[in-house]
Amino acid sequence: MSPVQTNVNLDLSNLAERLSKRFDHEPELRGRIAQALLESTMNNLREIAYRLDLVLWVREVLGVEPAKWQEEFLRATRGASILALTARQCGKTTTAAWAMAHTALYVPGSLSVVACPAQRQSAEAVRRVREAVIKAGRKA
């Protein structure tokens, strides 16, 4: 066990002991505090997981099961050049929109550029990014 991990464990043990003593005669309040701490911790861990794994974010926050090629696209190194050889209407714009929405939410100061042959296509891509951001905001 690392010194940092040991210190964190000791601090958490100390906190738990102090809370337990302070609210010893108020078991209902102690239970509510424990539940709030658990929810807060789980929410923080979930946010870290979403930052690390865009595919997990798409599944759980956007409620979509990406295809295998979309998972590979979403897990590509940031800034990589990607060529998606797929049929028409299979989700290339949507997949790129998920990646741009995730970046906009989790990478402060980031910039995503939408460049398409026609203005209509660009507008559709921007609309999809906006939809993903709005949907993610409702789940937060």
pLDDT digits (tens, 9 = 90+) for 30-64: 788 778 877 888 888 888 899 999 999 999 999 99
Q: Which residue has the higher pLDDT, 122 or 84?
A: 122
How do residues 1-40 score in pLDDT, each as one tens digit?
555 455 555 576 777 778 777 887 887 887 887 788 778 8
Same domain, 129 and 75: yes
Residues 11 and 38 grouped into a single domain: yes
Residue type, 49: A
Identify the burial level of 70 via C-beta atoms within 10 angstroms of its C-beta, where 0-12 means exposed, 13-18 middle and 19 or more buried.
buried
Same domain, 140 and 72: yes
Q: Is residue 59 part of a domain?
A: no
131: containing domain: 67-140
In angstroms, what CA-CA distances link 139 with 33, 104, 123?
Answer: 23, 16, 25
What is the predicted pLDDT for the residue at 9? Answer: 56
Q: Does residue 45 sit in the same domain as residue 73?
A: no
73 and 137 in a single domain? The answer is: yes
For residue 40, the model assigns a pLDDT of: 80
Residue 60 within any structural domain of the chain: no
Residue 20 maps to a domain: yes
Cα–Cα dist 69/74, whole Å: 9
pLDDT of residue 64: 96
Provide the percentage of residues in the chain whose pLDDT is more than 90: 46
Distance CA 107, CA 86 (A): 28
The answer as to whether 117 is a domain residue is yes
